[in-house]
Amino acid sequence: MLQGFDPIWDENARVLIVGSMPSVESLKKQQYYGHPRNAFWRIMADFAGKEFDLPYEERKAMLRDMHIALWDVVQFCDRQGSLDSAIRNEVPNDFAWLFSKTRITHVCANGKTAEPLFQKYVTLPSGVTFCGALASTSPAYTLSFEKKKVNWQVILPYLERE
């Protein structure tokens, strides 16, 4: 059985981005979106005006500075390979706990698998809006980087910059 990661968050988080389960490469590196061709960190760095190739700890700090929390829907599962379609026997993370510790107002899914998993397992608290699925940042989803970035711009109005 595979185990996902702890969330990246702080109490000022406004936007929660949910994935499904870390890929084989991410699990090996012990980093969210650890595959070198995954567009997630590049998109976030562009939005923050930062360099893409920051060390992982600085990438996590960048998300917190942007008031973004990051967590996968699945805490444990069985899966061969990295494809979301291969996820079996999933156990969800405790999102009620995360919502109680943050000021999240919007939740967006990274890709089409995270969306139904989130909707299956998570009840949103009052005042929190689910924005649906954004274009997957996975290299398996062949949309160009620029088109992915444009699609992800939907989160920008929800971020409170201080």
State yes or no: pLDDT of 56 exceeds 80: yes
Sorting pLDDT into bands at 50, 70 and 90, what band is 160?
low
Euclidean distance between CA atoms 28 and 5, whole angstroms: 12
- The stretch 79-99 carries a mean pLDDT of 93
Residue identified by tokens 């910059």 is 161
pLDDT value of position 159? 85
- The stretch 54-79 carries a mean pLDDT of 97
Euclidean distance between CA atoms 104 and 107, whole angstroms: 8
pLDDT, averaged across the chain: 95
Pairing of strands 2-3, 88-92: unpaired
Whether pTM > 0.85 for this model: the answer is: yes
State yes or no: pLDDT of 162 exceeds 60: no
pLDDT value of position 82? 86
3-state secondary structure of 71: strand
- The stretch 45-63 carries a mean pLDDT of 95
Euclidean distance between CA atoms 46 and 31, whole angstroms: 19
% of the chain surpassing 70 pLDDT: 98
Instruction: List phi, psi (to 5°) of 16.
Output: -110, 125
Active site residues: 38
- Report whether 37 contacts 94 (CB < 8 A): no
Sorting pLDDT into bands at 50, 70 and 90, what band is 83?
confident
Among residues 82, 145, 87, 138, the alpha carbon closest in space to that of 109 is found at 138
pLDDT tens per residue, range 113-159: 999 999 999 999 999 999 999 999 998 888 999 999 999 999 999 98
Domains with residue ranges and CATH for the chain? 2-158 (3.40.470.10)
Please, where are the H alpha helices in the chain? 24-29, 40-48, 56-65, 95-101, 114-121, 145-152
State yes or no: pLDDT of 161 exceeds 60: no
State yes or no: pLDDT of 12 exceeds 90: yes
